[in-house]
Structure 1
């Protein structure tokens, strides 16, 4: 009887995990699409920018590209781990547990890696372009005071 209660809890957690990874994939896919559409135009007569990066994003800072890239990888591996977890819940035996646990551990570690790049992006605070809404930076307040003097 206790196994059936754990089965329903595991199913609920798998569903929540799946929803989280779908959201990560949706936002990451949007950011990647925007970067591809608004990235550098390289061709005859065009020079590379001085600080060219193959992972360039028109929004955010230098860590944004790495963050989005690893978040997308973590999302895809996370969805695969959810599928493996649903297979384990369906069969609910000891033979399917190692594959589900190893897929979940890999997805978790990739999610932590993406979180590390998100922390680096927050730490940098420098933006190479503005997001669709206006953001006031800490340095902007000091510049306004200097212009008045």
Structure 2
């Protein structure tokens, strides 16, 4: 009975996490596009500006470049890990668990890394509403992704 309950909890968390990772990818894509469009412009002689940084973002603070970059990496891997998760929930056997658990655990660690940069960005205080939204989503995802990993591992013990 508990195994069926864990399967429904894992399914709910998988769908929730996928939707949140897609939102993170959308906001991160916007931020990356804005940084490319409004970043440093290299002059005709290819002279770099005095304070050139390859991850300069015109909005936010000094942590924004790292935050957006790692949020995009975590978002891509998190969304892609749902493929293994869907396969595992569909079959719900011990044979499908290792791939789903590994992908989910790696997505969770990348989400924790992005959440660390989100915390640093919150500490530095200067950011816009979209970045604040992405920070909140990554903080929530760090918890829900952990719960998903726990739910699929808990079913393996039964």
* TM-score, structure 2 normalization: 0.75
Return the offset for 1:99.
0.8
The total of aligned residue pairs comes to: 129
Name which structure has the greater RCO, CA cutoff 8 Å, separation 6+. Answer: 2
Return the offset for 1:19.
0.8
Q: Structure 1: which 5+ residue stretches go unaligned? A: 133-149
List per-residue Cα deviations over 1:25-64 (Å, max 9, x = no partner).
0110110111111111114146422211000101011110
List per-residue Cα deviations over 1:100-136 (Å, max 9, x = no partner).
11111111111111111111112223x5xx859xxxx
Q: Which runs of 4+ in 1 moved over 6 A?
A: none
Indicate the SS of the match to 1:71: helix
Partner Cα distance (2:7, 2:94) in 1: 13
Return the offset for 1:3.
3.3
Partner Cα distance (2:76, 2:2) in 1: 32
The equivalent residue for 1:107 is 107
How do residues 83-94 of structure 1 correspond to structure 2 at under 5 angstroms? Answer: 83-94=83-94
The equivalent residue for 2:119 is 119
* TM-score, structure 1 normalization: 0.79
Return the offset for 1:81.
1.3
> Max radius of gyration: which structure?
1
Q: Structure 2: which 5+ residue stretches go unaligned? A: 130-158
Partner Cα distance (1:14, 1:100) in 2: 11
The equivalent residue for 1:95 is 95
